[in-house]
Amino acid sequence: MEELVSEKTTLSKVRSYLIVLISLLLFIFAIDLLTVAMGRLNSDVARDIIEATRNPFISLFVGLLVTALIHSSSTVTSSIVAIVASSNMTLQQAVPMILGANIGTTLTSTMVSFTFINKRKEFKRALSSGISHGMFNILNVFILLPLELYFNFLSNSAEKLAKLFATDNDRLGPFEYNRIFTRNVTEWIVENINIPFLSTILAIFLVFFSIKVLTTSVYKTFVLDAFQDISKVIFKNTGLAFLYGMFFTAAVQSSTVTTCLVVPLVANRKVSVVKSFPFIVGANIGTTITAVIAALYKTEAAIAVALVHVLFNSIGALIFLPFPEIRQIPVKLAEWMGDTSVRYRVFGFAYILLTFFIIPFLLIYLSQD
């Protein structure tokens, strides 16, 4: 009997590992398909993309809005990598969109906190935890976006780093053929569909689907039990919480998953908002692995886009984590918003609607000629 149970457990693990591997390969394939499809779009579509993202604030809010709608910054950032690789967007135009995606992804953890809305004290703590993720990214954008706009700080830094990894000397030239195995297949698919826009939609769907499958399978296979077993250890100190946040998120390739794990812990007083904050910051860095994978075997510009994502979150961590006084700023803001939302329930809903939907939509709409 024990041998039978052991055999079933082994088969289950093998099956889980295969799902992880297949979903990872599907993700790489989907990114390459998106790159090829975007490269085949006609000049009018390409020009529209370039024009739409020429305004950095519109680019920022497009990234925010799209990420909020699909609840996946991984899908958005990896798609941006593919668009840059296809030369339909410059690195400088992509940077604000990457920053916007970082804000948009915080919607999910905030929404999770609303599951505690009928429990006053739990709701206050849960919402503070969920909003702390948003506060970190919003404050980070306030700091780094002006530096990018005036000095190209992120894009120039990423370009210099990309030179260490890229093999293509023509930084903004035609995208380099994928060296793994996908290019012949993806080109065949795009040629047979013969409608680049339809191929692009298919590719985006596959990117989203593969990330969801990969996230779920890795979470169930590697993270869930481990997180439950060591949750008491994770938040002992700032450095440990940060490293665990980065590790778990890199494993599941979704900061949404790991930050949503923290919200119930904070709500039920298993950990404080202050102690959970370094974990959330680490999760922000861990999620950048998706864009890095998407940039494999692409142009130097595409690699630079992925590195912008890494730099944005890493610099944010260096700004907010080392100094307790600075670390308190996003936490205190989040706690104040949590407290206000408990007293005035409409405040929490207003934060979600205004930050993630109404303001981005209005700015994008009003910017149209």
Dihedral sign, Cα of residue 249, residue 255, residue 261, residue 264 = positive
Over the chain, what is the mean pLDDT? 82
Kindly give, in sequence order, each residue whose CB lies less than 8 Å from that of residue 111, ignoring residues fewer than 6 positions away.
Answer: 130, 352
Q: For residues 77 and 94, give the distance between their C-alpha atoms in angstroms, rounded to a whole number.
A: 9
**pLDDT at residue number 48:** 67
In degrees and rounded to multiples of 5, residue 296 shows phi and psi of -55, 130
pLDDT (mean) for 246-257: 80
**pLDDT at residue number 227:** 58
232: burial class by Cβ within 10 Å (0-12, 13-18, 19+)? exposed
Residue 38, pLDDT > 60, answer yes
How does pLDDT run across 189-241, given as a tens digit for each residue? 888 888 877 888 888 888 778 877 776 776 666 555 555 555 667 888 899 99
**Are 13 and 63 a contacting pair, CB within 8 Å?**
no
Q: How confident is the model at residue 249 (pLDDT cuts 50, 70, 90)?
A: confident
Q: For residues 139 and 323, give the distance between their C-alpha atoms in angstroms, rounded to a whole number.
A: 15
| Radius of gyration for the alpha carbons in the chain, expressed in angstroms and rounded | 21
pLDDT (mean) for 341-355: 91
Q: How confident is the model at residue 176 (pLDDT cuts 50, 70, 90)?
A: very low
Residue 177, pLDDT > 60, answer no
Residue 2, pLDDT > 70, answer no
Instruction: Express as a percent the part of the chain with pLDDT over 70.
Output: 84
pLDDT (mean) for 323-330: 94
Selected residue with higher pLDDT from 3 and 290:
290
Domain residue ranges of the chain, discontinuous segments joined by +: 9-366
Whose structure tokens read 């889980």?
16
How does pLDDT run across 48-66, given as a tens digit for each residue? 666 677 889 989 998 998 8
Instruction: Tell me the residue type at 197.
Output: F
Choose among 270, 251, 248: nearest CA to 259.
Answer: 248
pLDDT (mean) for 285-294: 87
Residue 165, pLDDT > 80, answer no
What is the token pair recorded at 296? Answer: 């494999």
Q: How confident is the model at residue 171 (pLDDT cuts 50, 70, 90)?
A: very low
In degrees and rounded to multiples of 5, residue 228 shows phi and psi of -65, -35
pLDDT (mean) for 81-107: 89
Residue 24, pLDDT > 80, answer no
Angle in degrees, CA 28, 32, 36, rounded to 5: 170
What is the token pair recorded at 275? Answer: 């102690």
What is the token pair recorded at 207? Answer: 């990117």
Residue 138, pLDDT > 70, answer yes
pLDDT (mean) for 347-363: 90
Q: Is 355 left (phi over 0), alpha (psi -120 to 50) or beta?
A: alpha
**Are 17 and 221 a contacting pair, CB within 8 Å?**
yes
